[in-house]
């Protein structure tokens, strides 16, 4: 047993314990120690064999099971700088690398994205056995280190903490890694929330398919069947009809599409916005576009180190954007494509290759990886899309693109129940099935527009990754359901 409970302080109140309790505790401790011995057998044997003068200063900690309360102060690796020179600190981190070299062992301890070099060298307080123990710890194990902070003469380029190293006094494994793990870099980016937006939560289990019957997952729901929502749109709109003014929701969106591509997931994180406006849906387009600009600036300014780390592994041209963003009319996009030799009708939707090509043309002409394509043909948008009052072949709808791939689709929605029913009928939608939706607008509803953003796509395209699975901790596709 190498862990000295006494050295880290006795919790208040222990003095008051009954003999019986103390006896019981002693028994438990003996049991725990025995269990522990098994784990750190190698270390223990060495310590015993050599009558080790470092005994008790290293080894495997018993599994932390919240026995006694210990109020030890830990320093975060990121805070290990010259300011702490010659002070003694405790850190808890991962063994990033270690390398034995004669009577010493150099180790790098990592805590999240920060790392520090540690030296364990044979001395009158550090035994050979302790150095050997250090050398044998498996990489990625979680370790507790007590050490003195020392300023180094030469910058340590391999660590984030370049100006100091740690001279180890005590070293324990908290949770040992069984084998080597490939390093994963997980980047989480959160969108900027605009003033005045209220976050809402919308149901995922719904009674009717929200965007038509295709591509929807079916759920057994007690004695009936239900569906997984393909979009929170109808609920966002009801919130607007209930005077929430500006709402957003972040949550799971489901698509039962058997698309095994680099950019499709069956479950993804949607950031959906909906906003009442006064006179023109461009009021909303401007807010959404500005949100993107804020996201891009935030990523660039606050996550430069993380972005650099990713682009070291996946090199890519940095993401460019204009402020304010570029907004093109759909007709202008079609013109650009035609000039590039693409055959496309005025009321056709863009194919994925068309979108990619247009992205390249836009980038060449305007030097931006982000732009808005506005005024899509009415024929290619859902029934609830508001027609353009000046041209009934067009609609008040828009897509937004990053590196030539769609990341947001949105529109002004029809807020007049009679007109909505008329448009639904024209699209062959069964009015009975969308009655609750249409009824939501019968008590007055402000004009409104919005859109839905696929967050994994935004991350993928911002970083220029080749596959959306690289942006999700636990991606779901037609063939992947675990972990």
Q: Phi and psi dihedrals of 181, rounded to 5? A: -110, 130
Contact partners, residue 94, CB within 8 Å, separation at least 6? 109, 110, 111, 140, 141, 142, 143
Which one among 68, 323, 346, 348 touches a second copy, defined by CB under 8 A?
68
Shortest Å distance, C-beta 196 to a second copy: 10
Which one among 290, 416, 464, 469 touches a second copy, defined by CB under 8 A?
416
Q: Which is nearer to a second copy, 63 or 340 (CB)?
A: 63
How many chain residues touch a second copy (CB under 8 A)?
Answer: 103
Q: Which of 94, 110, 413, 457 is catalytic?
A: 457
Which one among 219, 316, 336, 344 touches a second copy, defined by CB under 8 A?
219
Which one among 206, 372, 400, 459 touches a second copy, defined by CB under 8 A?
206
Query: What x-and-dash track marks residues 239-278 binding a second copy by CB under 8 A?
Result: x--xxxx----xxx-x-x-x-------xx-x--------x
Shortest Å distance, C-beta 151 to a second copy: 27
Please report how the helices 282-302 and 455-463 are oriented relative to each other, as an axis angle in degrees rounded to 10: 50
Shortest Å distance, C-beta 96 to a second copy: 11
Q: Which is nearer to a second copy, 245 or 347 (CB)?
A: 245
The neighbour count for residue 73, using CB atoms within 10 Å, is 6
Which one among 15, 18, 51, 65 touches a second copy, defined by CB under 8 A?
65
Which one among 386, 459, 460, 465 touches a second copy, defined by CB under 8 A?
386
Which one among 49, 222, 364, 432 touches a second copy, defined by CB under 8 A?
222
- The DSSP letter of residue 335 is H
405 is catalytic: no
SS3 assignment for 211-249: CECCCCCEEEECCEEEEECCCCHHHHHHHHHCCCCEEEE
Name the nearest CA neighbour of 362 among 332, 396, 385, 399. Answer: 332
Shortest Å distance, C-beta 438 to a second copy: 11
Using CB under 8 A, which residues numbered 422 to 481 contact a second copy? 436-437, 440-447, 455, 473-474, 476, 478, 481
Shortest Å distance, C-beta 228 to a second copy: 7
Q: Do residues 111 and 78 make contact, with C-beta atoms less than 8 angstroms apart?
A: yes
406 is catalytic: yes
Q: For residues 210 and 218, what is the distance between their CA atoms, to the nearest angstrom?
A: 12
Shortest Å distance, C-beta 314 to a second copy: 19
Query: What x-and-dash track marks residues 123-162 binding a second copy by CB under 8 A?
Result: -----------------xxx--------------------
Q: Exposed, middle or buried by CB within 10 Å (0-12, 13-18, 19+), for 67?
A: middle
Q: For residues 230 and 402, what is the distance between their CA atoms, to the nearest angstrom?
A: 22
Query: What x-and-dash track marks residues 306-325 binding a second copy by CB under 8 A?
Result: --------------------
Which one among 47, 60, 94, 275 touches a second copy, defined by CB under 8 A?
94
Core vs surface per residue 369-408: b (16+ CB within 10 A) or e: bbbbbbbbbbeebbbbbbbbeeeeebbbbbbbbbbbbbbb
E strand or H helix at 286: helix 282-302
- Paired strand residues for 142: 94, 175
Which one among 57, 96, 255, 415 touches a second copy, defined by CB under 8 A?
415
480 is catalytic: no
Q: Do residues 230 and 409 make contact, with C-beta atoms less than 8 angstroms apart?
A: no
Which one among 78, 132, 150, 204 touches a second copy, defined by CB under 8 A?
204
409 is catalytic: yes
Using CB under 8 A, which residues numbered 356 to 385 contact a second copy? none
- Residue 282 sits in the site that holds a second copy (CB under 8 A): yes
Query: What x-and-dash track marks residues 331-350 binding a second copy by CB under 8 A?
Result: --------------------
Q: Which of 263, 282, 469, 476 is catalytic?
A: 263
Which one among 42, 84, 92, 322 touches a second copy, defined by CB under 8 A?
92
- The DSSP letter of residue 477 is B
Q: Do residues 58 and 133 make contact, with C-beta atoms less than 8 angstroms apart?
A: yes
Core vs surface per residue 170-179: b (16+ CB within 10 A) or e: bbbbeebeee
Which one among 7, 10, 158, 175 touches a second copy, defined by CB under 8 A?
175
Shortest Å distance, C-beta 413 to a second copy: 11
Q: For residues 203 and 35, what is the distance between their CA atoms, to the nearest angstrom?
A: 48
Using CB under 8 A, which residues numbered 22 to 61 contact a second copy? 24-25, 28, 32
Q: For residues 238 and 260, what is the distance between their CA atoms, to the nearest angstrom?
A: 34
SS3 assignment for 94-157: EEEEEEEECCEEEEEEEECCEEEEEEEECCCCCCHHHHHHHHHCCCCCEEEEEEEEEECCCCCC
Q: Which of 140, 274, 406, 456 is catalytic?
A: 406
Q: Which of 135, 160, 311, 409 is catalytic?
A: 409
Residues belonging to the active site: 255, 257, 263-264, 406, 409, 457
């Amino acid at each position: 047993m190498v862990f000295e409970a006494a050295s880290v302080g006795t919790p208040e109140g222990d003095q008051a314990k009954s003999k019986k309790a103390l006896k019981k505790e002693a028994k438990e401790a003996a049991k725990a120690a025995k269990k522990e011995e098994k784990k750190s057998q190698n270390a223990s044997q060495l310590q015993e064999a050599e009558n080790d003068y470092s005994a008790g200063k290293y080894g495997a900690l018993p599994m932390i099971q919240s026995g006694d309360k210990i109020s030890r102060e830990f320093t975060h690796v990121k805070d290990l700088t010259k300011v702490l020179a010659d002070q003694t600190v405790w850190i808890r981190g991962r063994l990033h690398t270690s390398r034995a070299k004669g009577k010493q062992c150099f180790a790098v301890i990592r805590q999240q994205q920060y790392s520090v070099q540690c030296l364990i060298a044979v001395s009158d307080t550090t035994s050979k056995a302790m150095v050997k123990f250090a050398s044998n710890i498996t990489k990625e194990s979680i370790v507790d280190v007590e050490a003195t902070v020392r300023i180094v003469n030469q910058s340590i380029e391999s660590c984030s903490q370049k100006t100091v190293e740690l001279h180890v006094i005590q070293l324990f494994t908290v949770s040992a890694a069984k084998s080597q793990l490939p390093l994963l870099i997980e980047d989480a980016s959160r969108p900027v929330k605009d003033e005045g937006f209220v976050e809402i939560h919308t149901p995922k289990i719904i009674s009717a398919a929200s965007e038509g019957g295709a591509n929807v997952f079916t759920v057994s729901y007690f004695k009936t069947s239900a569906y997984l929502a393909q979009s929170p749109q109808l609920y966002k709109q009801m919130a607007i009809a209930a005077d929430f003014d500006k709402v957003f929701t972040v949550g799971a969106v489901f698509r039962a599409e058997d698309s095994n591509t680099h950019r499709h997931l069956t479950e993804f994180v949607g950031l959906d916005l909906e906003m009442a406006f006064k006179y023109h849906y461009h009021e909303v387009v401007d807010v959404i576009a500005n949100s993107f600009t804020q996201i891009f600036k935030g990523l660039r300014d606050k996550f430069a180190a993380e972005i650099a780390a990713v682009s070291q592994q996946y090199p890519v041209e940095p993401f460019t954007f204009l402020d304010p963003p570029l907004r093109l009319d759909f007709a202008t996009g079609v013109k650009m494509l035609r000039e590039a030799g693409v055959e496309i009708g005025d009321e056709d939707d863009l194919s994925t290759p068309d979108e990619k090509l247009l992205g390249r043309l836009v980038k060449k002409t305007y030097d931006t990886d982000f732009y808005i394509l506005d005024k899509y043909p009415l024929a290619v948008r859902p029934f609830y899309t508001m027609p353009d009052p000046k041209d009934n072949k067009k609609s008040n709808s828009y897509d937004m693109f990053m590196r030539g791939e769609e990341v947001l689709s949105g529109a002004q929605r029809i807020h007049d129940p009679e007109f909505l029913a008329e448009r639904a009928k024209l699209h062959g939608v069964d009015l009975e099935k969308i009655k609750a939706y249409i009824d939501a607008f019968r008590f007055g509803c402000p004009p409104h527009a919005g859109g839905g953003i696929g967050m994994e796509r935004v991350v993928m395209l911002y970083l220029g990754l080749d596959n959306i699975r690289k942006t999700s901790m636990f991606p779901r596709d037609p063939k992947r359901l675990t972990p």
